[in-house]
Amino acid sequence: MSTRLRSPVGENDYVRGPDDAPVTLVEYGDYECPHCARAFPIIEEVSARLGDQLRFVYRDFPLREAHPRAEPAAEAAAWAGEGGKFWEMHDTLFERRADGPAWLDDDRLLEYASELGLDASGLESALEDERYLAGVRASFIGGVRSGVNGTPTFFINGIRYDGSWETAPLLRALEEAAASR
What is residue 2's predicted lDDT score, i.e. its pLDDT? 57
Neighbours of 131 (CB within 10 A): 16
Vertex 145 angle, CA 177 and 17, to 5°: 40
Neighbours of 144 (CB within 10 A): 12
Listed residue (5, 60, 3, 4) closest to 33, CA to CA: 60
Per-residue pLDDT of the chain (181 residues; tens, 9 = 90+): 458 999 999 999 999 999 999 999 999 999 999 999 999 999 999 999 999 999 999 999 999 999 999 999 999 999 999 999 999 999 999 999 988 889 999 999 999 999 999 999 999 999 999 999 999 999 999 999 999 999 999 999 999 999 999 999 999 999 999 999 7
User: What domains lie within the chain, and their CATH numbers?
Assistant: 14-179 (3.40.30.10)
> From CA 100, how far away is CA 102, in angstroms rounded?
6
> From CA 99, how far away is CA 101, in angstroms rounded?
7
Neighbours of 180 (CB within 10 A): 9
pTM surpassing 0.85?
Answer: yes
